[in-house]
């Protein structure tokens, strides 16, 4: 007997579908970063974008050419 799929699973049997833990909105990573920043006691001027600059600086120090970064 084949498994019947409820309509809300998009045809995937319920044994294979997982509920979405929460809604990923456009700012969810920013909000998560802010919470961790507060817990860590970091300055409010430290933004998620700062990590991009840190990663680029680390790559330059490792000898990666700027055009590759």
When comparing pLDDT for 59 and 3, which is higher?
A: 59
Among 31, 14, 13, residue whose Cα is nearest residue 22: 31
Can you list the alpha helix ranges (DSSP code H) found in the chain? 28-40, 48-61
Check pLDDT > 80 for residue 54. yes
pLDDT 10s digits, 32-53: 999 999 999 999 999 999 999 9
pTM score above 0.75: no
Dihedral sign of CA atoms 20, 22, 28, 31 in order = negative
C-alpha count within 13 angstroms, C-beta hemisphere, residue 3:
11
Pull the structure tokens for residue 65.
């050419």
The proportion of the chain whose per-residue pLDDT surpasses 70, expressed as a percent, equals: 67
What DSSP character marks residue 1?
Answer: -
């Amino acid at each position: 007997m084949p498994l019947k799929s409820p309509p809300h699973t998009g045809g995937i049997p319920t044994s294979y579908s997982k509920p979405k833990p929460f809604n990923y909105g456009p700012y969810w990573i920013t909000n998560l970063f802010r919470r961790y920043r507060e817990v860590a006691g970091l300055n409010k001027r430290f933004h998620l974008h700062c990590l991009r600059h840190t990663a680029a600086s680390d790559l330059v120090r490792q000898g990666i050419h700027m055009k590759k970064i």
